[in-house]
A and B are shown apart, each in its own frame.
Chain A
Amino acid sequence: MRWSIHVGDSSFYKDFVEITIHILITFVFHLLVQAKGFVQNSFYTGLSAVEFFFHTMGGREGLVDTAVKTADTGYMSRRLMKTLEDLYIHYDNTVRNASSCIIQFMYGDDGMDPSQMEAKDGQPLNFDRLLMKAKATCPAIEQKSMSTDEIYQKTLEVLVDHGIVSEGEENNKVPQLAEQKSFGQSLLEFVCKKMKSLEETQKRLKLDGEEDADACLESDENVALNASGLTSKQLEVFLRTCLARYNSKKIESGTAIGAIGAQSIGEPGTQMTLKTFHFAGVASMNVTLGVPRIKEIIDASKDIKTPIIDAKLERNNDDAKSAIVVKGRIEKTLLGQVAKSVKIVMSSRRASIVVTLDMKVIQASLLSIDAYSVKQSILQTKGLKLKEKEKENEKDKAKGQVKVLNTSKLEVIPFVDKKNLHFELHSLKNRLPTVVVKGINTVERVVISNEKEHKERCQLFVEGTGLLAVMGTEGIDGSKTISNNIQEVYRTLGIEVARRLIIDEIKKIVEAYGITIDIRHMMLLAEIMTYKGEILGITRFGMQKMKESVLMLASFEKTADHLFNASVNGRVDKIEGVSECIIMGIPMQFGTGLLKVRQSMPPVELKYGPDPIIS
């Protein structure tokens, strides 16, 4: 490689050229990483031109994301508000809508106010802190600390007195989900845990009273006992505080929790980006997250971008090898992937297509196919219209016959006359490799990965739909298989599971961005989507099925259609919901509008000024 330099003769130019060559040689950045955007400098040392340009590209993406995101989340927020606006807590603690249909029998299943929840996961009370406060404000002077049995007995007494725990309930060993534990049970559990740690501490300090219980203890042992123990007064203060606080956190009747829930779910939308993250653990699977996924869930769309079925293998069959076998049973295998050749064979009497299977590949991937199963698959494929036997009579619509030659060869003979033979043969030749010979044909891909908690066990991630078929596959534990496609789960498993899935899916998305939303809001949203027995999306179609008021539907979308249809059908709009009350200028029927004040007005005697009646 040469280059020619045309410079003048003066030494200045020569030096100059040398200098620039040096620059060329030495100021060369590493091609690889610089070419793809790695900025090696800090802001202090300054960025080069190319680095600056790449930084601009990265920053620009963020700005565009923000701009698009606000419009999307704004519309989603508006839809949520319109659907949830007239839900409120009635005086019988149920959640009903404007036409008094019951949505929830008790808000959040426990009737608590989400804005007053003190503990991290939405539990009403933080027992640790309350115990610390009780011990700090109620010093243990001149009282002996209690033994663990005494503590337990006293707690049980107080709880039974107040009706929180029923008599035999402490022996109830039914395992329950964390959020279903009642308040009384969680309090009892906390006390038991505390007792155990107290026992531990006392054992370590050798204070368990194995010695003579009446012997007067040394003063610092006394101090140690009091610091680590619990006196009766402290326990009493603690229990009383817990109960009083718990009762004060119940939600007030008339609260518009529909609107609060819609705002709580719609407002964090602006903090979520539009990008997708990679699926945790498996590098190659992409699952939609963020605002697009929430939109899919809320719209109850029939097909979603990344439907994934989470399948667990049966207990005794969960090693890697059986995972591959099961994967083979589920993943869609096409004939073209296992056939060695698909050839047109023409003889003088007839022409046909011969399919030869590649048995080595089939055995390597642990599939269990042979020519007979392939024949069945071909016969079952729609659109090919092939039959098993010869053409019987005129009315038979079959286009061809499939015969098995041996365990790895098949022959397909078309029944057409000479004019169309060539076309038929070639069209069959093109279509045969796309026949699904094994697996479920709605499944795109199956990925094997290790389970999160028990690393040696495998589980399968199936991309695609077909939950029923996957659950029924041999080797899969059907009771632990779940999909993330809500419509499919509704069809396969029912409405209650669909409700639970909506809650779990929204929780997953929101947690991935580090945002916390109280689960009661998500439960309310799931309830209103499923209370009619089918999944209703939060769109104008779903809203028509949920609501009855003409004015509300007209003020949302499709104004003209709703008004015209209402007039044809002679509909009556009872002004019950929020939108209608705002349009008509009447106060709403909940919150402060739930009650009216009656005043007795004695006639006012105006001592000064003219009598207003005579004027």
Chain B
Amino acid sequence: MRKSPQQIQFTKQPYIEDVGPRKIESIQFSLFNEADILKASEVEVYLGSYYDSAKKPIPNGLLDSRMGPPNKHGVCTTCQGSFQQCPGHYGYLNLSLPVYHAGYLTTVVNILKCICKQCSRILLVEKERLDMLKKMRSLKLDPFRKNEILKRVIKRCNSMVAMQRREMTCSRCGYINGVVKKATKGPLGVIYDRSNIDNFIEECKSAISHSKESKGSVNCSSLLDPKVVHTLFKNMLDEDCELLYLNDRPDKLIITSISVPPTVIRPSVLVDGGTQSNENDITERLKCIIRANATVRQELTETNPLNKSLASWVDLQTEVAQYINSDIRVAQSSMPAAKPLSGFIQRLKGKQGRFRSNLSGKRSEYTGRTVISPDPNLKITEVAIPILMAQILTYPEIVSRHNIEKLRQCVRNGPDKYPGAKLIKQTDGSDISLQYASRKRCADDLIYGYTVERHLQDGDIVLFNRQPSLHRMSMMSHRARIMPWRTLRFNESVCNPYNADFDGDEMNMHVPQTEEARTEALMLMGVQNNLCTPKNGEILVASTQDFLTSSFLITRKDTFYDRASFSLMCSYMGDAMDRVDLPTPALVKPVELWTGKQLFSVLIRPHAKMRVYVSLTVKEKNYDKSKNPGPETLCQKDGFVYFRNSELISGQVGKVTLGNGNKDGLYAILLRDYNAHAAAACMNRLAKLSARWIGNHGFSIGIDDVQPGETLSGTKEQIVQAGYGKADDLINKFNRGELQSLPGLDASQTLESEISNELNEIRENTGKECMSSLHWRNSPLIMSQCGSKGSPINISQMVACVGQQIVGGHRAPNGFIDRSLPHFPKYSRTPSWPSKCNGNWGGRGRLKLQFGSWSGKGWKGWGADSYTKHLHEKLRLPPHPSQISPFHIIKMANASEEARAQAG
């Protein structure tokens, strides 16, 4: 900020002590009064216009340039600062008559309730007053408790006044007080009701009771205007103020002059290339206030007594109230504006207000965001950043003896070639942008102590985050790896804490800018330190989906590999650069063969020098849980996983061993017994091995995986028919009234509950049949067994039977009157039909034709004459679909409607 040229010349520079950097310790809130406002302002504002004809702001107008630059291009007159530099200077506006402050009105009313309206002393009796004062002054300074004491005082005073007669007299001056209330409808104000004095209102009512006018409410309430209240408050004692938990003099609660905020917080926007200007809402509100003020002043000086109404005072009050809080509703809504101009409070509150949107959370720099995609070849602690992003995001590195050559090269490359730099900051604070400067000379001129903002490079620490950030693992720090192409890539194992999938999700990236921030990010937020969740100590970063499937397939009992394949697979983990000690083959003669389980042992402990000894036992998902299991180690389905000293002795590994949500899986043991680095390294190796192995082995799903076999279809039919039969029985029993109710339910509820049970059993039994009839190579079955995706219920829904649909805990509700859909007749819980559903077209995508049915007798009932029998014989074969058109079918259904209508 440049100082103005007339500066006082000292003969000797004044000594200013340097106390070092200071920190804000506390904030105290207080009130402004007129004198303070005047002291703080630069200019008095009383003209309600903005610009003159030459588009220059009018002096003493609302956009006076002494208050700051009026728009982006202006210059401040007081401090000669530009729009970015000038902090703004206040102005003031004197009101002709005082008004209430919209925010303090409740406080004002509370105070008025407690003081006498004539002598301004508190209404409590002396003894009570001293008592309350002592409590208020006590050293337990909890503000909440003080508020409670205040509320009690108010309630006491109010109740004294609300009761009749005697009590309301002020003990010190004898004035009789009335009830004070806030004006609810109409303009802002305080209602003072003195009608209960001396039967005053009764007399009045009886007086007019003879007249024919309405005997309606006779209101003898008056409004206390702000001037009166201001005088009352000025006369209050300090002791009373303390009792009422007021820190300052209460007369500051009434507005006598408005402090006009500087132009920088209400800038005007130039539109249409400099001709039109749109003013800020606050500026417009101030203009209305100035106008109303002028009207009031005019009325005050008006000589003609007939025209005095002071309605303009009410207007002024409304304007000032809406300036502060535009949500205050006033009576006159004759001009409902399209969008009411917002006041100060609207700027602060709500999700978009200052607090939540600009203070507690801010937009920040050095961030980026793109789509994510998977990459199993990256370590779990790494993230692949596109070169384009790395060239925009920079890290400020300080030049020192160790890195000066590298930074010189970066400076020579400039901002457009990677790896380069964008800016050089010199020690005195000035910047050199490398876009335009001569880069070679800058590189040669680099001195220790300069800061070079260089592009992101491999190994930099970045924070990686996905929204919604529900827990602290949604933002973790990764090491950067700069790669071509345009997406952010990371290892799939780390998907789970972010809850990310790769269907188009985007994620954010932040670059910490100081060395301390980088250290904190690395030590506290690194992926390796957040492998387990603090929620319950389970592992969160673990293998998912394909990795589990491939591990499951590798560790089957009948996978064998010869030397060539085994060595190839060992080289899959770790990029063929790590040392691997092959274990002794399981079969030696005639051919040397290793099993898949041995491959897994190599995965955990590749070479003998690595002293990682893992011992654990877990029961996998397909562990045999039948009645006589025998010893647990001899599980028939190979479901008991046993690692001993890093050798996999038995069991196929699946989700329980390698997945998340377990405390005794492989990674959890590695984490606890060794350290996080061991677990991370194991995850890396497994990811690489799985990606390559399953690519060669192939794993897919086809239509024959969900096709039910012959036996299954037959069994399913039987189960369904049996279940239907049972349901029929139940309904017949219910109709005959023989159904026994369950405890707490009546008959129809019992019926529903029993039928639901039957139907669920149908689905369960078909599901069990289906699971037992699947071939072991069935892909959904494999995925369900290892836990990578899907469960038995998904498989049985695909193959056997979908089951009962549940809405709100019950079966389909009767959305139409007495029936669920118009396809069915009313009350169609009762069967009228022996169900015969032969004709299994197998819909296969085509709509199965659906007809309504008639209630009443069965089809046998309407005349089993020879004609219909003949029809039935002839047409037992299902017709060719092409012979049926919807048109005819609808016609038949309509005919049935008519028929039903005829039958009644």
Contact = CB atoms under 8 A, between A and B. Distances in A.
> Is chain B found bound to chain A in the same assembly?
yes
B650 to A, nearest CB: 15
Interface stretch (A205-213, A433-441, A481-489, A557-565): A557-565
Nearest to A285: B744
Interface string A431-454: 000000000000000010000000
Interface string B834-861: 0111111011111111110110100100
A517 B534 CA distance: 9
B30 A3 contact: no
Nearest to A609: B447
B471 interface: yes
A35 B470 CA distance: 42
A284 B355 contact: no
Contacts of A455: none
29 contacts: A3-B898, A19-B884, A20-B892, A28-B836, A30-B837, A31-B825, A31-B831, A35-B820, A43-B802, A44-B798, A46-B843, A47-B843, A54-B805, A54-B820, A115-B533, A116-B537, A117-B537, A129-B669, A263-B472, A264-B471, A267-B535, A284-B745, A569-B143, A570-B28, A570-B30, A571-B143, A592-B524, A606-B447, A608-B447
Interface string A321-336: 0000000000000000
Interface in B795-839: 796-809, 811-812, 819-821, 823-825, 828-833, 835-839
Interface stretch (B52-60, B545-553, B869-877): B869-877
Interface string A51-65: 101110110010000
* Nearest 10 pairs of A and B residues by beta carbon: A570-B247, A46-B843, A284-B744, A37-B812, A22-B875, A115-B534, A48-B848, A58-B805, A30-B835, A39-B802
Given A39-B801, A43-B802, A516-B538, A30 B26 contact: no
B482 interface: no
A133 B798 contact: no
A608 B450 CA distance: 12
Interface string A224-259: 000000000000000000000100000000000001
Nearest to A31: B828
Contacts of A49: 847-848, 850
B448 interface: yes
Contact of A115 (B349, B532, B753): B532
Given A49-B847, A53-B821, A283-B744, A33 B727 contact: yes
A241 to B, nearest CB: 9
B24 interface: yes
A268 B538 CA distance: 14
B701 to A, nearest CB: 13
Interface in B132-169: 142-144, 146-147
Interface of B: 23-31, 103-104, 107, 142-144, 146-147, 245-248, 253, 325, 345, 348-350, 353, 355-356, 359-360, 427-428, 447-449, 468, 470-472, 520, 524, 532-538, 613, 615-617, 644-645, 663-664, 668-669, 672-673, 706-708, 720, 724, 727-728, 731, 742-745, 753, 755, 759, 762, 796-809, 811-812, 819-821, 823-825, 828-833, 835-840, 842-851, 853-854, 856, 859, 862, 871-872, 874-876, 879, 883-884, 888-889, 892, 895-896, 898-900, 902-903
A40 interface: yes
A584 interface: yes
Given A31-B829, A31-B832, A569-B246, 8 more contacts: A18-B875, A20-B884, A23-B884, A29-B850, A31-B853, A38-B804, A41-B801, A575-B27
Contacts of B806: 37, 58
Contacts of A118: 537, 663-664, 668, 672
A112 to B, nearest CB: 10
A28 B798 CA distance: 24
Given A516-B538, A583-B359, A567 B812 contact: no
B212 to A, nearest CB: 31
Contacts of B759: 33, 38
Contacts of A26: 836, 838-839
Interface string A534-555: 0000000000110010110011
A42 B708 contact: yes
Interface in A45-84: 45-51, 53-55, 57-58, 61, 74, 77
A16 B898 contact: no
Contact of A21 (B803, B812, B856, B875): B875
A223 interface: no
A20 B889 contact: yes
Nearest to B716: A42
Contact of A23 (B744, B802, B849): B849
B535 A518 contact: yes
Contacts, number: 370
A93 B253 CA distance: 47
A264 B534 contact: yes
Nearest to B800: A42
Contact of B355 (A58, A275, A555): A555
Contacts of A307: none
A573 interface: yes
A492 interface: no
B649 to A, nearest CB: 11
User: In terms of DSSP, what is the predominant structure of the interface of chain B?
Assistant: loop
A32 interface: yes
B615 A132 contact: yes
Contact of A132 (B448, B617, B808): B617
A566 B29 contact: yes
Contact of A30 (B104, B617, B804, B833): B833
B828 A35 contact: yes
B325 A568 contact: no
A331 to B, nearest CB: 13
A114 B534 contact: yes
Nearest to A268: B535
A467 B142 CA distance: 34
B645 A137 contact: yes
B44 to A, nearest CB: 25
A232 to B, nearest CB: 20
B471 A267 contact: yes
Contact of A28 (B23, B537, B664, B853): B853
A566 B248 CA distance: 12
Given A31-B853, A32-B830, A43-B798, A133 B615 contact: yes
Nearest to B753: A283
A413 B552 CA distance: 86
Contacts of A32: 724, 727-728, 731, 755, 828-831
A614 to B, nearest CB: 12
Contacts of A566: 29
A489 B107 CA distance: 37
B620 to A, nearest CB: 17
Contact of B247 (A516, A569, A586, A609): A569
Nearest to B731: A32
Contacts of A612: 427-428
Query: Max chain B CB contacts within 10 Å: which of A3, A50, A566, A592?
Result: A3
B872 A25 contact: yes
A122 interface: yes
Contacts of B800: 42
A548 B142 CA distance: 8
Contact of B833 (A31, A560, A582): A31
A543 B144 CA distance: 11
A608 B448 contact: yes
Given A29-B835, A47-B843, A1 B359 contact: no
A516 B536 contact: yes
B805 A571 contact: no
A28 B851 contact: yes
Q: Which of A114, A119, A447 has the most CB of B within 10 A?
A: A114
B889 A606 contact: no
B743 A39 contact: no
Contacts of B896: 3, 24
Contacts of B673: 133
A48 B843 contact: yes
A579 interface: yes
